Amino acid sequence: MEGEREAEESNLDSKAKLEALISDTEANNIVTHQMNSQEREEEDDDSRGGESKVASFDQKDIMKALEVVERDSVAIAESFTSLFTSLRLALSEVTSTSVDHMACFSDAAGRLQECALDAATKGNRYINSCLRLNEEMKSIDSLATQLKVLRRNVDALDSGISKLLRLT
């Protein structure tokens, strides 16, 4: 969040510098245009008068123009440097965020895999318990039949003992 604000501020600074550069360039163009007009007037005067003035005036104009170009070039370079710095910062933040998301996704996928394996293991235990219970339930039918026979025998024994006890 803080990095995004810094990137925005850097971007705004870059835009402000670029706008200042453009306005300076326009002002320099106006000055250059005025110089060219003066130069033409002086050339007309010099063609009448002396050629040494023309040569010295041309050198002054050239030096001034070179200074303007150099100043503009420095301003443009600073603007581009600021722009690339803010772009590098924004790219770094986006990359960092992507790496964080990938790490989070990896952790979530690992935990999901662990839970799925645990659930599968418990499910297999449950199925095995049900199969054992089913096998045990099959033998209960024969046990129930044996219990019925045993119950009839116990009832018969009980009634036989009761008869014997009445006789005595």
CA 109/CA 100 separation, integer angstroms: 14
For the chain, the farthest-separated pair of C-alpha atoms sits apart, in whole angstroms, at 173
Q: Which two tokens stand for residue 109?
A: 């996928």
- Residue 158 tokens read as 């009980």
What whole-number distance in Å separates Cα of residue 63 and Cα of residue 69?
Answer: 10
pLDDT score recorded for residue 119: 96
CA–CA separation, 44 and 74 (whole Å): 35
Q: Residues 87-122: pLDDT tens digits?
A: 999 999 989 889 899 999 999 999 999 999 999 999
Phi, psi of 49 (to 5 degrees): -100, -95
Whole-prediction pTM value? 0.40
Q: pLDDT per residue over 21-80, tens digit each?
A: 556 655 555 545 555 555 555 555 555 544 555 556 688 888 999 999 999 999 999 999
